[in-house]
Structure 1
Amino acid sequence: MSTAALVSLALLGALVGFVVPRLARRFTATPVGPRRRRDGNLGTEALRRDRRDPRALLGPLLAAGVFAGLAVTQADDPALPVFLVVAAVGLVLARVDLVCLRLPDPLVLGAGLLALGGLTAAALLSGTPGRLAGALGGATVAGAAHVLLALLPGSRLGFGDVKLAAVLGLPLGWLGRDALLAGLLLPHVLHGGLVLGLLAARRVRRDTLLPLGPALLTGAWLAALLT
C-alpha cells in the first residue's frame, strides 16, 4: 500500500473517531426535559464541552491507529473495506459498552449484515468462495463457543457479547484458522488481565460488572494484525 493511501485511511479513521461519540450518545443518552426530547441529543452545550476536553483527541487518534493497523497488515486483502467498516461500528460499540454495559442489537446486527454482505462480495469478486465458507464457519464457532461460556454456572457473559463474538467470527474466519483461534483467546486474556489489575489496585470489587465488548473488539483487531 502506498504511503498516500495509508495516510488517507488513517485520516479516515481519525474522522470516524470524531463522529463516534455523537453516534454512541444516541444509544447511551437518556433525554430529560422537553428540550432534549425535541432535539434527540444532549444539546450544543454538551458538544462544546466535548470539544474543550483535551481527552476528546484520544478517540480520533485511537481510531486512526485502528484503521492504519488494518491497512498495513491487510493491504492486499480484498476484504479490507469490510474490516474497516466493522472496525468503525466496533468503535461505537466499545464506547457504548464502556458507558452503559450494553451492546445495542441494531449496531451488532448492522455490523453483522455489513460484514456478511461485504465478505460475500469480496469472495465473488476475487474468485475465492472458500474464504466465505471459512467466514461463516468462523461465525458459527465463535458464536457457539461463547454460548457455552454464557451458560456456565456463575458466568457473567451476556448474550450481547455472544452476538458480537459471532459477528467478529466472520472476518476472523475469513482470515483463517489461526486468526480465529487468536480472536477467540485474546479477548479473554486481555479482559482477565484487566480485571486482575483493577482488583489489585482496588479499583473494583469481585462482584463489579465490567464490559467485555471492548476486549472482544480489541482481541479481534490484534488477531487480524498478528496472523
Structure 2
Amino acid sequence: MSAAALVSIALLGAFVGLVVPSVSWRFATADARPPAFPGPRPIRRQWVDPMVATSVFVGLAVAVGDDPALPVFLAVAAVGLVLARVDLACLRLPDPLVLAAGLLACGGLTAAALLSGTAGRLLGALGGAIVAAAAHVLLALLPGSRLGFGDVKLAAVLGLPLGWLGRDALLAGLLLPHLLHGGLVLGLLAARRVRRHTLLPLGPALLVGAWLAVLLD
C-alpha cells in the first residue's frame, strides 16, 4: 500500500473518530445505565476518539493491505467504534448498529469475492460467522453465564471478516476477546474498582480482540 493511500485512510479514521461520540450518544441515551455498572467517566478530551479511530484504521490498512475487502474491514470498524462506546455507556449493543455492521460485512464481502473471483473466501467468511455464533451461543447457555445475546450477534458479525482471512484469524478472534476481558476483570477486582457480581461490557473486548486478530494474522 502506498504512503498516500495510508495517509488517506488515516485521515478517514480521524474523521470517523470525530463523528463517533455524537452518533454513539444518540444510541446510549436511549437506554438508562444499570445501577450496578459504575461505567467509565465521560471522555472530555476531544482528541481521544480521533486518535483511537486513526490507530484502528491504520492498523487494519497495514494488516489487510491490498486485499479487496479492506473497505469492508474499515466500514465494520467504524460501526464497531460506535458499538464499543455505547456498550461502555449503558451495557447495550443496539440491534440496528449490529445489523448495520452485519449488512456491511455481508454485502461488502460478497462484492469483494465476486470482483476478485474468490468465492471460496466468501464461504470461509460465512463459515466464520457460523462458528463464532455457535461458540458464543454455547457460552451464553452455560450456567451462570453473563454473556448476552447482543454479544452473540456481534461475535457472529465479526466472524465474517475473520473467516474471510482464514482459520488462524478466526481462532485468534474467538480466543483473544475472552483473554482480554478476563484479564480486565481480574485487574478491576484486584484494584477493588468492581465487585464480583458487577456487570461489565463484553462488546469492546470482542471488537478489540477481533482487531488484534487481524493485525496478528
1:74 — aligned with what? 64
How many residues are aligned here? Answer: 207
1:18 — aligned with what? 18
Larger radius of gyration: 1
Q: Distance in 2 between matches of 1:195 and 1:110?
A: 29
2:73 — aligned with what? 83
1:168 — aligned with what? 158
When you count helix as a share of all residues, which structure comes out higher? 1
Q: What TM-score, normalized to structure 1?
A: 0.89
**What do residues 82-136 of structure 1 show as CA deviations (whole Å, max 9, x unaligned)?**
0000000000000000000000000001100110000000000000000000000
Q: 1:56: Cα distance to partner?
A: 1.8
2:55 — aligned with what? 65
Q: 1:75: Cα distance to partner?
A: 1.2
Q: Distance in 1 between matches of 2:25 and 2:134?
A: 31
Q: Distance in 2 between matches of 1:172 and 1:220?
A: 7
Q: Secondary structure at 2:46's aligned position in 1?
A: helix
Q: Secondary structure at 2:143's aligned position in 1?
A: coil
The residue type paired with residue 140 of structure 1 is I
**Which residue, out of 191, 195, 208, partners 1:205?**
195
Q: 1:142: Cα distance to partner?
A: 0.0
1:158 — aligned with what? 148
Q: Distance in 2 between matches of 1:181 and 1:91?
A: 22
Unaligned runs of 5+ in 2: 32-41
Q: 1:30: Cα distance to partner?
A: 4.8
2:135 is the counterpart of 1:125: no
Moved more, 209-218 or 67-76: 67-76
Indicate the percent of aligned positions where both proteins have the same amino acid: 81
The residue type paired with residue 51 of structure 2 is L
1:4 — aligned with what? 4
**Which residue, out of 151, 168, 177, partners 1:187?**
177
Q: CA RMSD in A?
A: 1.3
1:113 — aligned with what? 103
Q: Distance in 1 between matches of 2:65 and 2:120?
A: 20
Q: Distance in 1 between matches of 2:30 and 2:179?
A: 33
Q: What TM-score, normalized to structure 2?
A: 0.93
Runs of 4+ in structure 1 over 4 Å off: none
Q: Secondary structure at 1:124's aligned position in 2?
A: helix
The residue type paired with residue 24 of structure 2 is A
Q: 1:205: Cα distance to partner?
A: 0.3
Unaligned runs of 5+ in 1: 32-48
Q: 1:4: Cα distance to partner?
A: 1.2
**What do residues 180-208 of structure 1 show as CA deviations (whole Å, max 9, x unaligned)?**
00000000000000000000000000000
Q: Distance in 2 between matches of 1:64 and 1:138?
A: 27
The residue type paired with residue 91 of structure 2 is L
